[in-house]
Amino acid sequence: MEVCYQLPVLPLDRPVPQHVLSRRGAISFSSSSALFGCPNPRQLSQRRGAISYDSSDQTALYIRMLANSEIEVSVSARNVRRLLSFQRYLRSSRFFRGITVPNSSNILDDDYNGQAKCMLEKVGNWNFDIFLFDRLTNGNSLVSLTFHLFNLHGLIEHFQLDTMKLRRFLVMVQEDYHSQNPYHNAVHAADVTQAMHCYLKEPKLSKSLTPWDVLLSLIAAATHDLDHPGVNQPFLIKTNHYLATLYKNTSVLENHHWRSAVGLLRESGLFAHMSLENRQLMESQIGDLILATDISQQNEYLSMFRSHLDRGDLCLENPNHRHFILQMALKCADICNPCRTWELSKQWSEKVTEEFFHQGDIEKKYHLGVSPLCDRQTETIANIQIGFMTYLVEPLFGEWARFSNTRLSQTMLGHLGLNKASWKGMQREQTGSGDDVDPAFEEMDSDILPQEPRLS
């Protein structure tokens, strides 16, 4: 039986090249689940995002996510279920309607719910433990935290949002993060969203931001790594992945995260009551925020930020200046792990290194050439973290402290200094020297790493 279904669409700046859907390279991505360490392609094709490794579903998914105009596509009932993930949606909708499943281990008891609610009362504290909160919410930290922040900031009332649509959107977002990724998963997204909330509370921002600014910030934070495959952009480029071709090797992952977020916004109908003009503006500005998290653009953003601060010409009454500051805030939130307490920072460091090393293992297996920082035989967590802090985190947070010289900024810099000292101590124990910076950082493209002197 053939079913005709009107699919949501997503405009592109340019037509999708015909060769996007072909995967001719050193590696066949019809079997790329082996590369990514993911479920088989049939399972992957059930995801809502554009990443799919099943050739039979590739075209349908791209029509759904990336078409230039609304069209009717005739697909089988089985494929409709795949595209819209009805089963997952029905399970989540039953939960939020209060329909419990007997003897279900997925329903938390009152004690866990109570502890989670107590934690949310302190959601603005910098030492918020997102790992504990995720356990207390049975893996629903992103949904629970983001919904709470929407309510806390008055966004539900201000924008007249349907709470069921909001929950459905957040459930879809959380599900479209890859739980098997050690680092780029929904817990990381929740952590970044909580950090963004802390920055939005800073005096310079809180008195200047509009509800629209806050709305964009929280959505961008929650979706900034949506459908991340657990490998980096150079990996996608050198394996001729179709996403790299689609986005011409430029901000490949960030463009995909943005497009995936827009797809879920449209599918959920969360802002269907808004005018088309406002919805398009929202989608564009969310894209601006997410694209700012591309680490290869670090020099450009940091230079602009430093120039504004040197001239003292930032005016937060100017919408463009406010938007730029929100971009910098999201950049900070995205890489703020070294600025957390040692207990939290160390866990994040171990998780991101595990993801790096997993990519390196894949590259070794398929003779691709191991990417910088991804070789578990030559790298250590301490070396990687010291280089990361020196070249990326310290310059960014040093400038952020110039912009917002508050207790929070000083706390973050304090943790950063202590954590770096702790990693140097471990490095000395491992190598007998604490002065070496991981050479992999110095070997990377100079456009990626700011050439700044170390901060003491």
The secondary structure of residue 65, as a DSSP letter, is H
- What CATH topology corresponds to 335-456? Catalytic domain of cyclic nucleotide phosphodiesterase 4b2b (1.10.1300)
- Whether residue 358 contacts residue 229, with contact meaning beta carbons closer than 8 Å, is answered with no
Q: Write out the chain's pLDDT in tens, 456 residues.
A: 444 434 344 444 444 444 433 333 344 333 343 454 443 433 433 444 444 333 344 433 433 333 333 333 333 433 333 333 333 444 455 555 555 444 333 445 567 889 999 999 999 999 999 999 999 999 999 999 999 999 999 999 999 999 999 999 999 999 999 999 999 999 999 999 999 999 999 999 999 999 999 999 999 999 999 999 999 999 999 999 999 999 999 999 999 999 999 999 999 999 999 999 999 999 999 999 999 999 999 999 999 999 999 999 999 999 999 999 999 999 999 999 999 999 999 999 999 999 999 999 999 999 999 999 999 999 999 999 999 999 999 999 999 999 999 999 999 999 999 999 999 999 999 887 545 555 555 554 444 443 333 332
Residue with tokens 């963004």: 196
Tokens of 265: 């916004």
Give the pTM.
0.77
Residues contacting 340, CB < 8 A, separation 6+? 126, 127, 348, 415
Q: How many CB atoms lie within 10 A of CB 358?
A: 20
Q: What is the pLDDT of residue 98?
A: 54
Distance, in Å, from the CA atom of 319 to the CA atom of 9, rounded to the nearest integer, reads 29
Q: What is the pLDDT of residue 97?
A: 53
Enumerate the domain spans of the chain: 2-89, 335-456
Q: How many CB atoms lie within 10 A of CB 175?
A: 20
Q: What is the pLDDT of residues 221-254, one digit of tens each?
A: 999 999 999 999 999 999 999 999 999 999 999 9
Q: What is the pLDDT of residues 256-272, one digit of tens each?
A: 999 999 999 999 999 99
CA-closest candidate to residue 148, choices 178, 128, 176: 128
Tokens of 257: 């995260």
Which residues are designated catalytic?
Answer: 184
Q: Considering Cα of 44, then 178, then 381, then 238, what sign does the dihedral take?
A: positive
Which helix (H) or strand (E) is 3 found in, with range?
Answer: strand 2-6
Q: What are phi and psi of 204, to 5 degrees?
A: -60, -35
Buried b (16+ CB within 10 A) or exposed e, 253-275: bbbbbbbbbbbbbbbbebbeeee
Q: What is the pLDDT of residue 359?
A: 98
Q: What are phi and psi of 222, to 5 degrees?
A: -70, -25
Q: What is the pLDDT of residue 228?
A: 98
Distance, in Å, from the CA atom of 285 to the CA atom of 282, rounded to the nearest integer, reads 5
Q: How is 257-311 classified by DSSP, letter by letter?
A: HHHHHHHHHHHHTTTTTS-HHHHHHHHHHHHHHHHTT-GGGHHHHHHHHHHHHHH
At residue 72, the 3 state secondary structure works out as strand
Which helix (H) or strand (E) is 117 found in, with range?
Answer: helix 110-120
- Tell me the CA end-to-end span of the chain in Å, nearest whole number: 68
CA-closest candidate to residue 372, choices 423, 434, 295, 439: 439
CA-closest candidate to residue 400, choices 344, 290, 324, 286: 324
Q: What is the pLDDT of residue 442?
A: 52
